[in-house]
Structure 1
Amino acid sequence: MTHRTYQTRLKNLSAESDLALSSYAAIFSKAERTLFAQTFAQGIRPTQTHKSGFQLRFGITARQYNAILYGLRGKVESIKELRKDHIQAAKARIKSSEKAVKALERRLNADRKTGAATKNKTAFKLHHKKRRLATQKHRLEKLLVAEKASTVSLCFGSRKLFHAQYHLEANGYKNHADWKQDWQTYRDRQFSVLGSKDESAGCQGCQLKRINDQWLLHLRLPNSVIEQTGLYKQVVLPIELPHGEDAIKCTLKRGGAITYRFVRDEKGWRVFLSIEVQAAKKKSIEAQGAIGVDINAHHLAVVEMDRHGNPINKHRINAHTHGKTTHQRMAVIGDAVKQLVEIAHRTRKPIVLEALDFKRKKQDLKANEDRRYNRMISAFAYSKIIEVIKARCLDHGIEVKDVNPAYTSQIGKHKFAERYGLTPHPGAALVIARRSKNYREQPNREDQTASWLPERKATEHVWSYWRKVARKPVAYATLLSKRKLSRQSALSNGTESRTVSHTSGVSARA
């Protein structure tokens, strides 16, 4: 089982329906902000006392309070998990800045001794680098204090819009009142209705029904909204399901939970329906081989492997995402993954991926001076590609495996590229596929440093050899080229000698 979310837009809403949704969002937002201020912001866990008190204060039901609590708890837990990454990134930046400060200090001492004309420029850089280092240490200290106290800071309405009040003209506001109106509207723009499989139609507060060939949402309003607006306790909203209609029907039929989230944007109201989707029946056959996928910044290198570990087909699927908007990237990724899934569905083989983590690489972007590399890593939607691949394979019954990515590029380049006529990326894809079958990755016998591994190296892992190759690729390539030339010359000399001896034998008999 996995969660899947589908979205649609509410069209042709009446004035009463729009008022009901806006009032619901305002009550929901105010209760959420108040609950955060009284509990999570102070490091306090909400209790049953908070629940009963909030029900009376804001005129909401128990299920509506639970929706507020679960949504807020998810935001808080997300912030806490991200804070761990922020702390690691801050420590890495401080370490890099300290190295830069020491290097600038050495350069400044050398310039002062030699009287170089660049000493003032170096002193200027050192001064600002020290200021930057002090700021980084202060930020790290704040993160560590918050981590120890288990408190979080959460801005309802986005920090960007909050800081816009200090630069009204630059952000297109005539006065502070105009900004405050936008600020309040943005804060009161969404609410959620929590679903449960124990409730009818998967949700007590909002039920989806099919009446006269039309989908209708029956939304239960909070008691406070009913009192303020004078509306009936339920508002009926016509809705279309252009995506995921079959999956939603199956969920309603089996009595699964459906959670709704209503969001207002510049075009109106949107609805997000979250359901649990059952995996399709497994169709891939592991004994037939595997499909290795090497995900790169501009394309997917795909290699189909037979059951003996040999490549029988290769594909290049373009997935260029640099310079594109979010929607354009998703369209490109969707098209690429569709081609990949079609290959796996046709061959009935599982897909094998690398278990890579780009968090560390993206944290070190500023330390790397290669702008092309930084731009490539920033635009590399690796996690999104993995997410879409796994979701599509779940729908089609295709198994997806994750393998260790260690030295796949080196092994593919130096062991399989020449043997099978593969370029580096397809070679890495072949290694990824072979690794899912636990095939040996010993180097070619003619490429080893000795005729056979010495007894003292018998207990070493084979990756120790490829680690040496990865650390000194230029020296290794030079060594291989020399060995290749020596083998070719030896073969040619052996052929010539055999020809000469054969000719001499014939002449002697003659």
Structure 2
Amino acid sequence: MGGLRELAGSFVVPGPCGVAVRDRLKHLTPRDESVLRAVGEHQGRLASRDLRARCADGLEHSKDTWASRKRDLTPLSSSRIAGAITKATHDQWALARRCQAAHMKTLEAGIGTLRHRLSLPIGEPGTKRAAGGYRSKGEWFHKSRRLAALEARHAAVVADRQAGRVRVVRGGKRLLNTRHHLAQARLTEAQWRERWETERWFIAADGESGKRFGNETIRVTPDGEVSIKLPAPLAHLANARHGRYVLAVRIGFAHRGQEWADRITANRAVAYRIHLDTDRRRWYLTASWQRPVVQTIPLEAARARGMIGVDTNADHFAAYHLDRHGNPVGDPHRFPYDLSGTADHRDAQIRHALTRLINWAKQAGVAAIAIEDLDFTAEKTREKHGRKKQFRQLISGIPTGKLKARLVSMAAEQGLSIVAVDPAYTSMWGAQHWQKPLATPHRRMSRHDAAGIAIGRRALGHPVRRRTAPPPHDRSDRAGHRTAQAGPDTRGREGTRPPATDHAPRDVPPNGTRKRQPSASNTVRDAPRTQQWVQDSLMRTG
């Protein structure tokens, strides 16, 4: 079939490279809170000053300018705190630079779509792969103005990128804009101000291997004692030796506590961050560390015990178990979730659905889960989908990035691998080849269930279609096998179907005609009599 794009190959997703655990700092004294606030405000001002200097350097940044910024911060804090601030600044600038490049690509995609549609005659019908012309002259005019606006934005972004300018807001742009909509956010000015200042604090320290308990700035002992190295201007607040302040609390990480204890006992690097949740009025300590790079298993090893194919939708995961030959096993499984409400609620819903999916995969005995490598960056613009605002909101609400990261980390803890496949045509071909044949009076197959089969078969290296047409007979009157699932070394792949009983029917006349018609089967596996098993034509997958 002409016009089909080339499919990307499936691959095993690398596992997580870091771990983060969190515990609450309970029963802090008023003095503890005042010291933490003073440290956060002081180091937050230093971080803001360093970020402004880094943005002023632009593309002229070098190791010398980095070292100069660190030397300027050291007398106002300490050498380690200055290093943590400059590293965080560098990471924040690099992230803003990557977001700038992504925004520029989005603008380019929108400009290309608008130019294409404006070049077509008014009322020109579109196709499945390309939109047609606009419906009226008024719409054409408004879209031409939209094109001019996008071109102006694109020119400004290109100029900023060439000059090395980035747009960064310490504390977050969304929270900054909330200041103008306090009534809608149900916040008072004092509440917003407290949240804004808290988000701009900086109470964090990078770990150091070989140092005592893996961190010299924020130190946590095996028995849970937390102490902080105070910056030089706040050294008078210390209540311990060497300018340190010891909090009057003890912590103990319930999750991965033994792994954390093993690291600090061996003086391996552990990074810490202290922050305040203004809504709950609670202080938290987050510990994080890097893991050694784990070698992913080969793709053939991931396919050895079959696969779970998962189709991601706006409100549920549609999953199907396939054996190593690509044959569906059992019934489809659906794992619903609700993406409405707050961000915490959405995150909890995704985590709960993934937990049930992974538990079912462990029970099925597979070694990997196949999922689409989704990327809606260029798919949710109004230039591409026009008036389909509800559809754009639908695909914008699917948290693809967070879903990928969480699935990979949660599956790695259970010894499962994740295989990413090209999402092209999975829903269309799955419904075409698998939805109707697998439907029975006791099994309802949806388009999403069939897409899960297509995803699993693509991850296993099989074509999406059920079987290939038999090859023609050659002069030796020989034909190959019919199924695409069975490999060359599979026994009995070309054998005939065994008889329904262990004896030949006695009432069949020699001419082969039966005296009575066979009765309909009552088993639940048979399809309804109104359905026919239609063999579809072969479709290219490459």
- Give the TM-score category using the shorter length: 0.7 to 0.9
Residue identity opposite 1:437 in structure 2? L
* Aligned residue in 1 for 2:68: 49
Aligned residue number for residue 493 of structure 1:
none
- Structure 1's 188 and 308: CA in aligned 2 closer, same or farther, altered over 3 A? closer
Rate the CA distance shift 1:204–1:502 in 2: closer, same or farther, 3 A. Answer: closer
- TM-score, normalising length: structure 1: 0.73
| SS of alignment partner, residue 361 of structure 1 | coil
The CA distance in 1 between the partners of 2:427 and 2:27, in whole Å, is 55
Aligned equivalents of 2:447, 2:192: Cα separation in 1: 56
Give the C-alpha shift of residue 79 in structure 1: 0.8
* Kept after mapping to 1: 8 A contact 2:17/2:290: yes
Take 1:101 and 1:285, find their aligned partners in 2: how far apart are those partners? 48
Given that residues 352 and 400 in structure 1 are in contact (C-alpha distance below 8 angstroms), is that contact kept between their aligned partners in structure 2? Answer: yes
User: Out of 370, 373, 379, which is 1:355 matched to?
Assistant: 373
Distance in structure 2 (CA, Å) of the matches to 1:169 and 1:298: 30
Match of 2:423 in 1: 405
- Per the alignment, residue 226 of structure 1 pairs with 235
User: Cα distance 1:255–1:93, how it changes in 2: closer, same or farther (>3 A)?
Assistant: same
Aligned mate of 2:330, from 313, 316, 321: 313
Task: Select which of 228, 253, 272 maps to 1:241.
Answer: 253
- Residue 304 of structure 2 is aligned with which of 278, 281, 287? 287
Distance 1:71 1:314, change over 3 A: farther
**Helix, strand or coil at the partner of 1:4:** strand
Cα distance, 1:358–1:170 mapped onto 2, change above 3 Å: closer
Distance verdict in 2 for CA 1:183–1:393, change over 3 Å? closer
1:194 counterpart = 2:178? no
Higher relative contact order (CA 8 A, sep 6+): 2
Checking the alignment, whether the CA contact within 8 Å between 1:409 and 1:424 is kept in structure 2 is yes
Match of 2:21 in 1: 6
Q: How does 1:230-269 map to 2 (within 5 A)?
A: 232=240, 233-237=243-247, 238=249, 239-266=251-278, 267-269=281-283
Quick one: distance in 2 between partners of 1:187 and 1:99? Answer: 44
- From 15, 37, 41, the counterpart of 2:30: 15
> Once structures 1 and 2 are overlaid, which stretch shifts more, 396-405 or 315-324?
315-324
Equivalent residue for 1:185, pick from 192, 197, 213: 197
| Matched pairs, number | 431
Deviations 1:258-302 (CA, angstroms, capped at 9, x unpaired): 1111222321422221123567999x9742222211222222121
Question: Aligned pair in 2 of structure 1 residues 427, 180: CA closer, same or farther (>3 Å)?
Answer: closer
Aligned pair partner of 2:94 in 67, 77, 88: 77
1:96-111 paired onto structure 2 within 5 Å: 96-97=113-114
1:135-166 CA distance string (max 9 Å, x none): 43332222111111122222224445556777
Question: In the alignment, what sits opposite 2:165?
Answer: 151
Change (3 A) 1:241 1:168: closer
Q: Return closer, same or farther for 1:28/1:148 CA change in 2, 3 Å cut-off.
A: same
C-alpha separation in 1, matches of 2:287 and 2:202: 14
Structure 1 residue ranges without an equivalent (≥5): 108-120, 453-498, 504-510
Which structure features the higher share of helix residues?
1
Q: Distance in 2 between matches of 1:431 and 1:164?
A: 44
Deviation at 1:78, TM superposition (A): 0.9
Report the residue type matching 2:162 in the other structure.
K
Cα gap change, 1:316/1:62 in structure 2, threshold over 3 Å: closer, same or farther? same
Aligned ranges 1:20-31 → 2 under 5 Å:
20-31=35-46
SS in 2 for 1:156: coil
Which residue matches 2:535?
none
Match 2:459 to one of 430, 433, 436: 436
The reply to whether residue 385 of structure 1 matches residue 403 of structure 2 is: yes
Cα distance in 1 for residues equivalent to 2:302 and 2:108: 46
1:288 and 1:135, CA in 2 relative to 1: closer, same or farther beyond 3 A?
A: closer
For residues 361-372 of structure 1, the aligned pairs below 5 Å read 361-364=379-382, 367-372=385-390
- How far off its partner does 1:90 sit? 1.8
CA distance in 2 between partners of 1:170 and 1:285 (Å): 49
SS at match of 2:405: helix
Supply the AA of the counterpart residue of 2:452: A
Q: Is the 8 A contact 2:319 2:332 kept in 1?
A: yes
Residue 139 of structure 1 is matched in structure 2 by: 153
2 CA distance for matches of 1:245 and 1:15?
A: 28
Q: Look up the SS of the partner of 1:359 in the other structure.
A: coil
| CA pair 161-286 structure 1, distance change in 2 beyond 3 A | closer
Change (3 A) 1:38 1:434: same
| C-alpha distance in 2 between matches for 1:130 and 1:15 | 61
Cα offset, 1:205, TM superposition: 0.9
Amino acid at match of 2:415: G
Partners of 2:374 and 2:187 in 1: CA distance = 45
1:251 to 1:315, Cα distance in 2 relative to 1, 3 A: farther
Q: CA deviation at 1:17?
A: 1.6
Q: Select which of 303, 316, 323 maps to 1:299.
A: 316
Partner of 1:496: none
Contact 2:335 2:357 in 1 (8 A): no
Q: Distance in 1 between matches of 2:305 and 2:415?
A: 16
Distance change >3 Å, CA 129–CA 217, structure 1 → 2: same
Q: Percent identity?
A: 20
Query: By how many angstroms is 1:394 displaced?
Result: 0.9
Q: Which residue of 2 aligns with 1:375?
A: 393
CA distance in 2, matches of 1:321, 1:171: 22
Quote how far apart the aligned CAs of 1:405 are.
Answer: 2.4
Alignment check: 8 A CA contact 1:29 1:187 kept: no
Instruction: State the SS of the aligned residue for 2:169.
Output: coil
Match of 1:344 in 2: 361
Structure 1 residue 340: Cα displacement: 1.4
Contact 2:316 2:335 in 1 (8 A): yes
The answer for the alignment partner of 2:518 in structure 1 is none
Distance in structure 1 (CA, Å) of the matches to 2:103 and 2:192: 31
Question: Given the superposition, is the C-alpha separation of residues 64 and 134 from structure 1 closer, same or farther in structure 2, using an over 3 Å criterion?
Answer: same
Task: Give structure 2 stretches of 5+ with no counterpart.
Answer: 1-15, 124-135, 440-444, 474-508, 514-542
Q: In 2 relative to 1, CA 393–27 (structure 1 residues): closer, same or farther, beyond 3 Å?
A: same
Distance 1:253 1:340, change over 3 A: farther
2:311·2:455 contact (CA, 8 Å) conserved in 1?
yes
Match of 1:480 in 2: none
| 1:20 and 1:221 in contact (8 A); partners too | no
Matching residue of 2:11: none
Q: What amino acid does structure 2 have at the position aligned with 1:20?
A: V
